[in-house]
Amino acid sequence: MEYATIRELVSLAAAAETSIWQIVLQVEAEEEEVNESDVRKSMLTNLEVMKEAVDYGRQNNIQTGGGLVGDEALKLEKYFASTSEAEQNNIYNKIITYALATAEVNAGMGKIVAGPTAGASGIVPAVVLSIGEHNNLSDQRLVEALFTAAGLGYVVSKKATLAGAAGGCQAECGVGAAMAAGAAVELRGGSPQMAADAFAMALKNLLGLVCDPVAGLVEVPCVKRNAFAAAHAYTASTMALAGIESVIPADEVIMALTEIGDQMPTCLKETSRGGLAVTPTALKIKEDLQ
């Protein structure tokens, strides 16, 4: 069994009357010649790393390489502590806090799971862990959601790119949001096709996103962008669960991602020679750091 497109992934899952995660797990076990329980164990290890990063980032003011970020999740935690219970139980608030926490840990040379990349590592854990906590789901269910995310990202890596240097931030945070959206659909009980639609909608809306990091660091705008992309992923999953479909199918959105990435000028693809990176403030920051 194998899959090279989102469509194939959905068809395989639909034909077997199962979920995308099950197909992804099965193919991984076959391809790598390991049994499914070992594959699950490896992903559980990733889940543990994700939880630790979120916990650390929520509780600590993190010292980062450039010192441009580090206390955002902490600020949100403090803010929510002073708000109403309804506000505290709002899943979006949890999602943005967790995404910031992970992205800050990453910026501070802490341990994270790169997925799809280190710079976009806050999105998938934020969405998956928040839904898990909100609905009291078991770790195994969360592990399964990580397979959904991984399988969707796998297709992008085969057909397009996951590198900001090649495709801009649409290939990192854009794809991270799309992976998280698909995973969120399956966690929330949606069908494989709904997961594909959520994936497509999330990615469509972040197409064209450039990679213009200030001083070349994975701090500005990267860290806060993880929070926006994570909230965005959850929005896409809700729309898909309601039966809203993507007019452009997922695989064609991936084609558009590649085309846009190719047309994007090099100065906006992780070279820090354009966009936010060359604003007066960014240039001053760069100068001060050297």
Partner 1 sequence: MSIFEIMGPAMIGPSSSHTAGAARIGRMASLLFADKIDRAVVKLHGSFADTAVGHGTDRAIIGGLLGFLPDDQRLRSSFELAETEGMEFSLEEVKLREVHPNTAQIELYNREKTKNLELVASSIGGGRIKVTEINGSTVELTGRMPTLWILHQDRPGEVGIITSILGSYKINIAFMQVYRNRKGDIGSCIIEMDDQPNQDVIKDLEKSEDIFQVRYLPRI
Give the torsion sign (CA, 110, 58, 103, 4).
Answer: positive
Which residue, among 98, 69, 94, 61, has the nearest Cα to 80 in the 3D structure?
A: 94
> Per rule CB under 8 A, is residue 46 in the interface with partner 1?
yes
Stretch 58-77 residues interacting with partner 1 (CB under 8 A): 64-66
Which part of the chain contacts partner 1 (CB under 8 A), choosing from 44-52, 227-235, 250-258, 276-284? Answer: 44-52
**Least CB distance to partner 1 at residue 25 (A):** 9
> Per rule CB under 8 A, is residue 6 in the interface with partner 1?
no
36-59 helix and 123-134 helix, angle to the nearest 10 degrees: 90
| β-bridge partners, 211 | 269
Instruction: For residue 37, give every residue at least 6 positions away whose Cβ sits within 8 Å of its Cβ, in sequence order, or none.
Output: none
Give dist(CA 175, CA 155) in Å, integer.
Answer: 11
**Least CB distance to partner 1 at residue 150 (A):** 4
Which residue, among 256, 119, 129, 122, has the nearest Cα to 183 in the 3D structure?
A: 129
Which part of the chain contacts partner 1 (CB under 8 A), choosing from 84-92, 195-203, 215-223, 245-253? Answer: 215-223
> Per rule CB under 8 A, is residue 111 in the interface with partner 1?
yes
> Per rule CB under 8 A, is residue 203 in the interface with partner 1?
no
Write out the residues near partner 1 by the rule CB under 8 A.
24, 28, 31-32, 42-43, 45-46, 49, 64-66, 105-119, 121, 124, 146-147, 149-151, 153-154, 157-158, 162-163, 165, 215-219, 289
